[in-house]
Amino acid sequence: MSGGFDQQITFLTTRDLARTDDFYARVLGLPLARDQGDCRIYRVSENAFIGFCERASAPEPRGVILTFVTDDVDAWHARLSAQGIAFEKPPAHNPRYRIYHCFLRDPNGYVIEIQRFDEPL
């Protein structure tokens, strides 16, 4: 065992892969890393990915928060707002966790947080 991992992928289910693909590829601009037919994997950063698999019995999303970390939360808020994306919470500072963040939902209902750490990891 080498002692580490090379990449990270989080897989989630969707009932509508075409709508999910439109959101993650066109709206967020994430490159499609792999199309497996009923599953698609998008590159979030160099070694982090998110995948969606279409399933007719996909459960309602609960308890999942997809957090995308960026230095420019306000630019993302403006970019997505200009595309008609509604935010559940506009950008604000959270002193408890020392972050600046906002929240929206993807077409599946998954919560997306766009966040900046006051002190990078």
Distance (Å, whole) CA 90 – CA 68? 15
108 and 71 in a common domain: yes
- More confident position, 62 or 42: 42
Summary count for the chain: helices (H), strands (E): 2, 8
Q: Which domain holds residue 47?
A: 7-57
- Whichever domain contains 13, its CATH number is 3.30.720.120
Question: Residue 41 domain-assigned?
Answer: yes
20 located within any domain: yes
CATH number at residue 84: 3.30.720.110
Same domain for 121 and 72: yes
pLDDT at 1: 57
Question: 82 pLDDT exceeds 60?
Answer: yes
- 1-53, pLDDT tens digit by residue? 567 999 999 999 999 999 999 999 999 999 999 999 999 999 999 999 999 99
Q: How many domains are there within the chain?
A: 2
Residue 121 confidence (pLDDT): 84
Is the domain of 112 the same as that of 73? yes
Handedness of CA 22, 12, 33, 43 (dihedral sign): positive
pLDDT tens-digit map of 86-95 = 999 999 999 9
